[in-house]
């Protein structure tokens, strides 16, 4: 893609973003890590240390271990630290996420960071108050998972923002808390922009990444059944393909520009360009243009 005409403000936006280290310059891991806006990837439902290590080595940003009894992917409390340690030996910045549902105070010792995880994901019916209480008492981040049954549930998710460090959205399925592969309708998520990081789960596969990230901008994607051979047994080739897809499509940045007139800027295709334009939006009340871009962004994309 190239942007032609009325582009002095676009060049200024490019320079500002480049100076901030926000411009992605390919799909290599080093450049991805320099981009603070890139989409993260969590592989959830791991059961064996050797798979946790392999997934981390392939480039996953986080692993999830299930502490919900009755789940096909359940891991007992005494076995969880080995999975988190195995992942961090491969990649020191691979975060460990412990997934639980409606934990009692008697379980607090197993929920603390000393057990090897950095994040506690609450996947039950925890209230805003309960989430806030656990956040005060534990030395880990708190993420609240919301099972989305209708678009109205997104408003309920926002109510948790003051009490947690992140949100995870998953499709509602009766009697199942997660790992179902069911998807939240994309149209429900249009415009969802909470004031904290949020992760999207449900039917995340390598083939679906382009569809999701061309329309939405979650902080991260959460995959489980979409990269499995059987519950808890990951297909490492699928994981590798998913990591590659997220790096390709999730390395974009949002650039905002002030334009004198939206009519002075037109977007044109160029087969030789490494830049992909995912979406752009003109605010109806201002002269601000929001553009989402991926790829190798250089001054040649802003030509008079």
Q: Where are the domains of the chain?
A: 2-21+253-303, 39-249
Structure confidence at residue 37 (pLDDT): 72
Across the beta sheet with 253-258, the strand order is 253-258, 288-295, 275-282
Alpha carbon of 219 to those of 30, 94, 197, 286: distances in Å?
A: 18, 15, 5, 26
Question: Which H or E run contains 257?
Answer: strand 253-258
Spatial contact of 220 and 169, defined as CB atoms under 8 Å apart = no
Tokens 């940045």 identify what position?
253
What's the whole-model pTM score?
0.73
Q: What is the pLDDT along the chain (304 residues), one digit of tens a residue?
A: 344 444 444 444 444 444 444 444 433 444 444 455 789 999 999 999 999 999 999 999 999 999 999 899 999 999 999 999 999 999 999 999 999 999 999 999 999 999 999 999 999 999 999 999 999 999 999 999 998 988 888 988 999 999 999 999 998 555 655 555 577 888 889 888 999 999 999 889 999 999 899 888 899 999 998 999 998 899 999 999 999 999 988 665 444 444 444 443 444 333 333 334 444 444 444 444 444 444 434 443 443 3
For the 39-249 domain, the top CATH level (class) is alpha beta
């Amino acid at each position: 893609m190239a942007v032609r005409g009325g582009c002095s403000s676009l060049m200024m936006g490019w320079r500002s973003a480049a100076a901030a280290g926000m411009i992605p310059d390919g799909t290599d891991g080093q450049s991805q890590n320099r981009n603070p806006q890139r989409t993260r990837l969590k592989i959830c439902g791991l059961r064996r240390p050797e798979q946790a290590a392999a997934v981390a080595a392939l480039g996953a940003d986080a692993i999830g271990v299930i502490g919900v009894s009755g789940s096909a992917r359940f891991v007992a409390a005494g076995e969880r630290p080995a999975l988190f340690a195995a992942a961090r030996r491969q990649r020191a910045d691979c975060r460990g996420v412990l997934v639980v549902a409606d934990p009692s105070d008697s379980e607090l010792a197993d929920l603390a960071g000393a057990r090897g995880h950095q994040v506690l994901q609450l996947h039950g019916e925890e209230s805003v108050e309960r989430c806030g209480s656990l956040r005060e008492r534990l030395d880990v981040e708190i993420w609240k998972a919301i099972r989305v049954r209708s678009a109205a549930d997104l408003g309920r998710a926002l109510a948790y923002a003051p009490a947690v460090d992140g949100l995870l959205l998953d499709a509602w399925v009766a009697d199942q808390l997660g790992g179902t592969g069911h998807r939240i309708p994309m149209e429900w998520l249009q415009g969802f922009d909470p004031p904290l990081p949020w992760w999207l789960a449900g039917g995340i596969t390598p083939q679906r990444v382009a569809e999701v990230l061309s329309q939405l901008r979650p902080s991260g994607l959460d995959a489980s059944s979409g990269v499995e051979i059987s519950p808890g047994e990951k297909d490492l080739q699928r994981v590798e393909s998913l990591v590659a897809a997220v790096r390709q499509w999730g390395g974009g940045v949002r650039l905002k520009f002030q334009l004198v007139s939206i009519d002075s800027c037109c977007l044109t295709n160029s087969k030789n360009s490494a830049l992909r334009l995912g979406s752009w939006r003109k605010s109806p009340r201002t002269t601000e243009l929001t553009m989402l871009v991926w790829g190798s962004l250089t001054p040649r994309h802003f030509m008079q």
